[in-house]
Chains A and B, each alone.
Chain A
Amino acid sequence: MRDISDAVTKKDHYEKVSGTARYIADYDVKDALTGKFLYSDKANARIAAISLPEFPPGYSCTGGNDVPSINEVIIVEKDMPVFPTEYVRYIGEPVLLVTGPDPDVIDELIAAIEVVYEEEPPVYSPEEASEIHFEYGYTKGDADKAFLEADEILEEIFHTGYQEQAYMEPQGVIASYEDGKVTVKGSMQCPYYVFRAVKHTTGLGDDRVRIIQTTTGGAFGGKEDYPSMLACRAAVAAIRLEKPVRIILERAEDMASTPKRHPARLRYRSAVSGGRVTAMEVDVLLDGGAYTTLSAVVLQRSLISAAGAYDIPNLKVSGRVAKTNSVPSGAFRGFGAPQSFFAVEMHMNHIAGKLKEDVLAFKRKHLVRQGSATSTGGIFSDPVILEEMIEKAADMSGYTDKMNLYGKMNGRYRKGIGISVFFHGCGFTGAGERDIIKARVRLDKSPDGRVEILVSNTDMGQGTKTTFSKVVSSALEIPMDDILIENPDTDRVPDSGPTVASRSIMVTGYLLEKAAKRLKAEWKEGERQLVEENYVHHENVPWDMDRFFGDAYPAYSWGVNIIETEVDMATLQPEIKGIWAVFDVGKPIDETVMRGQAEGGLLQGIGYGSMEKMTLKDGRIWQSRFTDYMIPTSKDIVNMKCEFIENAYRFGPSGAKGAGELPLIGGAPAYVASVENAIGRELCSVPATPESIMETLRKGGTE
C-alpha cells in the first residue's frame, strides 16, 4: 500500500464470503445442552410461587437461587439480577433457564411451568415515572439573562422512538465448565465486560474465567451490554450442570427482550436576539426501562450533544433517565447523540423558518470553530473544518439551487432537500480512558518475523482486524500477510478496552501504532519479542463529572449530510432521490472500510428517521419480527455520495479519529428536513412515517 487509506483485501474476507467463518450458532459442541428462557409476561409483579412440571432425565431449570456467588449482572451498576427471585420488572425478563437435549421438549416444559405473579401497577410512561435512574444537568453562561433580553423565544418538543439494532446474527453464547474453569464463547463486542460480569456472578478468580469472542454478525451497540447478561445466565447453568450450555436467541425473543435505543422526549427553548440564538434551555427525558444498563453514559452523551455543532453562548441543559417497567434501553451506535442531534437540527431549521432566514446561512453563522468553547466549557482545540465540508456537500448536491426551487412546489409529487451538521465525540466521556479503561495492547513477534496483534477489541464487521493490521503493517513496514490477528480470547489478550464509543481505531489503534514503532526500533532478527503499550491521556480542560464541566471527549469527528426526497402527497410516502455526505474522521484507515462505515451508518440513520418504528403496547414490544419492524432493503435506498476530508488528529494512528458511530447521527435530521421542505410543514418526531406525517398535516389544517 502506498497510502494507508488505499484499500486492501480484508483479513477475514474469504472466510466470510465463502461461508466458512464460524459464528456462535455454527459451533458443534459435544454434549452441549440447549438453553431457553421462560420470560416474564408481567411488567411489574412479585413472584409468589413457581410450580414446575416433572422434568424428564437430562432436563432441568436454572434460576436465581442457583447463582453461585452474587445474583447481579455487572454492567455499569449492579441493579440487574442474573435471574429475578422476588420481582419481575418488565415483560420479557428471563425468569428461568430451561436446559436439555431437545429444543422441542424444552418448549413443552416451558409451557408447563406455572409462575404465580402478584401484580403491581406498572409504569410505562417516562413522563409519569416516579423513579429515575439518573439525572444530570449543566449550565453555560447566563441563560436566564439571555431569555430576559431576547427578541423572540421559541419552544418545541421533539420525540424519538425505540430503534432496534437488528444485527443480522441474533445474540448467542455457549458456556462450559471444566476443571473449575468457566469458558464462555459468543457473539460480543466487549470480552472484558463479559469477563468481569461472569467473575462477579460466579465468584471465580481471574484464572478461572475465560471469554472468547466468536465471529460476530453485527452488533451496533446491541452486543455491548446484553452478552454480559446472557453469559452470566449460561455460565450459572453450565457450572451447576457441569455441561456445556448453548443459548442462541430466536429473532423475536431477541427483538422483544434485548436492549435497544432509548426513546426520548426533548424540550428545546431558545432565545433569539439580533437574528442569533443567544441561549438554549434543553430538557431531555430518556426511557431507561427497568434496569440501568448503560443509561448513565447514554444520557451524558445526549446532554453534551444538546447544542449540536453550534456555538450557543448560554445554555441550561438538564436530563433524566426514567425508570419504567419496560425492556431496558441500552447502547446503539450514536449512544444518546442521535436523539439530541435530531432535535437540535430540526429546532435550528424551525427557528430559521420563523425568522424567514435561509436554513444553511442561519446554521453557518452559529457553527463552532477551532478554539470555540464546547457546551460543557471545554475547548474545540483541533481544527474544525465544517465550513469546507458544508461547501463541498452543497456543491456535490446542488443544494442552493434545489433549495431555491423546492419548498414551493404544488401538485401531487413534491421535492424537498434537507441538511444536517453534526459531530461525534470520540472515545469515553472525560478522562474515562485514563481512569476507567486503562487500555493496554501487545504485539507478539515470533522468530520467523510474523507479528501477532493482541488486543481485546472485536471485529464485528466494522473491519478492525483489517485496519489494526494495516496500522501495524504500515508502522513496521512489513507485509499485511505477516500480521496475524485472531478473535480475542481473554486468556491471550490484554484488556485494551471495549469495542464501543468510536474508540477502537483512535485509542487502541494509536497504541498499536506506538507499539509497532517501538518494535521496529528494537527489532531483532530470529528472536521472539513482546512489546506492550499503555494508554497515555492528553487533555486541555480536565473533565469534572460532578460539575459536568470541561473537555467531554478527547477528539471530535464531524459530518454534513444532505438528503433529497420526493413526497407523494396522496400517500405521503417520501422517496429518496439523493444522498450526499462529507465526513471528517481525521484520516480514513482504508477508504473502502470507511465507505462501508459511512454508508451503512447513514442508512441506519435514515431508517431511524423514516421507517423503523418500534413501540410498546401494554408493556410489550409490539414489533418483534422483520415482518413488522421494517429495516431498509436495497430498494429503499439510492446511491450515496460520501466524501472524506482529511484533518489529521495528533493522537490517532496516521491521524485517524473515531468513525464508527458518526455516520448514523445525521441521517434522521437530514431526511426529515427534506420531507419538511417538500410538504411545507414542521415535523418534530421520528420515525417520520407516512402515518405520522399525515397526522402532522391534519393538525396543521388544510393548505
Chain B
Amino acid sequence: MIEFELNGKKVKSERPASHRLLDVLREEFRLTGVKCGCGEGECGACSVFMNGELVNSCILSMGRIRGQSIITIEGFRETKRFAVLQDAYDKTGAVQCGFCTPGMIMASEALLSRVPDPQEEEIRDALSGNLCRCTGYNMIVDAVLLAAKEGKGIW
C-alpha cells in the first residue's frame, strides 16, 4: 500500500509500486483533468505538482510517490491563482481543444510561482515541455503575461 497526499488530503493506493501515477490518478481517483497525450513524458498533458515541482505523471511510478504531496488541476482549480490564470486564458483565447490546457495551466503556475513577473523568453522556456497543436502558443504566452499583470502580488 502506498500512502501519499493528494490535493491536500491523505490518501492510500493498493496499486503496485511499478504503476504510473497518471493511471492511478485517472482510474482510481477519477481525476480526469490529468490527460494522457503520449505516455512518455514528451507532451506535458499529464503535468501535476509533486512537492510543488512540475512533473509528468506518466513517467512517475507509484513507488516514488510514497509520502509525497501531489497536486492536480482538480486541486489547483480551487485557488485564487487559478482564478486569475483561467481568466487570462479566457481573455487571450488561449484555449482551443482544451486537451493540453490543464497541463499548460500547471506549467504556467509553476513558472509564476518561481518568477512572478516573467519575460516572454522565460515563458517560452517554461511552456516548452507542454505541447499544444491548436494555438501556435502565442496566445498562451499572452495569457501568462496577462495573468502576471492582473494577479500582481498573489504569486
Contact = CB atoms under 8 A, between A and B. Distances in A.
Contacts of B136: 596, 599-603, 637, 640
Contacts of A219: 97
Nearest to A638: B138
Interface string B117-141: 0001001110111111111111111
Interface centre among B26, B95, B131 (most CB of A within 10 A): B95
Interface in A212-226: 215-220
B62 interface: no
B140 A634 contact: yes
Contact of A28 (B30, B38, B127): B30
A168 B93 contact: no
Contact of A168 (B43, B72, B89, B90): B43
Nearest to B30: A28
B35 A17 contact: no
Interface string A475-517: 0000000000000000000000000000000000000000000
Interface stretch (A193-201, A203-211, A261-269, A625-633): A625-633
Given A167-B97, A627-B40, A218 B90 contact: no
Contacts of B123: 634
A17 B93 contact: no
Nearest to B143: A17
A250 B43 CA distance: 13
B57 interface: no
A626 B134 contact: no
B98 interface: yes
Range class of the B interface residue count: 35 or more
Nearest to B33: A19
A354 B82 CA distance: 57
A61 interface: no
A326 B142 CA distance: 41
A601 B100 CA distance: 17
Interface in B62-98: 72-74, 77, 82, 86, 89-93, 95-98
B89 A461 contact: no
A592 B88 CA distance: 13
A157 B137 CA distance: 34
A7 B93 contact: yes
Given A168-B43, A168-B133, A169-B35, A17 B95 contact: yes
A18 interface: yes
Contacts of A170: 36-37
Interface stretch (A8-16, A73-81, A394-402, A533-541): A8-16
B68 to A, nearest CB: 21
Contacts of A25: 26, 32, 35-36
B40 A19 contact: no
Contact of A626 (B32, B43, B73): B43
Of B82, B129, B134, most buried by chain A (CB within 10 Å of CB) is B134
Contacts of B141: 634, 639
A599 B139 contact: yes
A220 B133 contact: yes
Given A170-B37, A596-B93, A626-B38, A17 B43 contact: no
B102 interface: yes
A251 B40 CA distance: 9
A15 B73 CA distance: 12
A19 B74 contact: yes
A12 B98 contact: yes
Judged by DSSP, the binding face of A is loop
Interface in A606-626: 625-626
B52 to A, nearest CB: 19
Contacts of A168: 35, 37, 43, 45, 97, 99-100, 131-134
A463 B92 CA distance: 14
Nearest to B137: A634
A219 B134 CA distance: 9
A40 interface: no
B5 interface: no
B138 A626 contact: no
B39 interface: yes
Contacts of A257: none
Given A18-B33, A26-B32, A626-B43, A13 B133 contact: no
A12 B34 CA distance: 18
B86 A17 contact: yes
Given A17-B95, A17-B105, A626 B131 contact: yes
B97 A17 contact: no
Contact of A637 (B30, B40, B137): B137
Contacts of B92: 592
Contacts of B36: 25, 170
A429 interface: no
A339 to B, nearest CB: 20
A166 to B, nearest CB: 5
Contacts of B26: 25-26
Contacts of B34: 19
A595 interface: yes
A425 B148 CA distance: 41
Contacts of A341: none
A10 B100 contact: no
A218 B136 CA distance: 13
B35 to A, nearest CB: 7
A461 B38 contact: no
A18 B77 contact: yes
Interface in A547-606: 592-593, 595-596, 599-604
A626 B46 CA distance: 15
Given A17-B98, A25-B36, A635-B124, A600 B90 contact: no
A328 B15 CA distance: 40
A317 B39 CA distance: 45
B42 interface: yes
B99 A18 contact: no
A169 B35 CA distance: 8
A14 B138 contact: no
Q: Which of B101, B127, B129 neighbours the largest number of chain A CB atoms within 10 Å of its CB?
A: B101
A19 B77 contact: yes
B99 A600 contact: no
Contacts of A637: 136-138
A372 interface: no
Nearest to B38: A251
A434 interface: no
Given A13-B95, A599-B136, A631-B131, A250 B39 contact: yes
B98 A9 contact: no
A640 B138 contact: yes
A596 B39 contact: no
9 contacts: A7-B93, A18-B82, A168-B133, A168-B134, A250-B39, A593-B93, A595-B139, A599-B135, A631-B133
Minimum-distance CB pairs A-B, first 7: A19-B33, A461-B97, A16-B98, A217-B99, A599-B136, A592-B93, A626-B42
